[in-house]
Amino acid sequence: MSNYKRPLTIGVDFDGVIHEYERWKGDEHFDDPIIGAKEHMEKLKDDGWHVIVYTCRSNVQNVKGFLDEHAIPYDAINENKFQPPDLNPNKMFADVYLDDRCVRFDGSWSTAYTKIKSIYPDHDDDKKIL
């Protein structure tokens, strides 16, 4: 058992969770913040959570600018200074991930498949590629 001490960490997805997001419109495009994002991220910080914003966007400075402009609190973007030392650094560790496109695996692949289908219900109709 490790004696490694760290705060509880939450990874919060940027697109579709912090700011409104319909589809990818480019690295420079930002919509409005999602109602409640700022206030609830403040509550998480007040509760002692280490809040990491994670994103696939290549320009992290633009994301930082958006967060700062809207006074949305966070501790880091795409990195966890409390990453346990024995974990692969290529996947950011968090105790909880908040993401608009996640499917929580509860031990049943059948249930997971049904949840996946609910995100893109028409995908198999024409086998379209997004």
Could you give all domains of the chain from N- to C-terminal order, each with its CATH number?
9-99 (3.40.50.1000), 102-130 (no CATH)
Q: Which amino acid is at 101?
A: R
pLDDT, average across residues 17-33: 90
Residue 79 scores a pLDDT above 90 = yes
- Both ends of the chain: CA-CA distance in Å? 45
Helices H, strands E: what count in the chain? 4, 4
How distant, in Å, are the alpha carbons of 48, 92, 120, 123, 124 from that of 128?
Answer: 44, 31, 11, 6, 7
Residue 129 scores a pLDDT above 80 = no
Whole-number Å distance between alpha carbons of 75 and 52: 6
pLDDT, average across residues 1-27: 86
Whole-number Å distance between alpha carbons of 67 and 36: 14
Residue closest to 28 by CA, chosen among 79, 63, 72, 68:
63
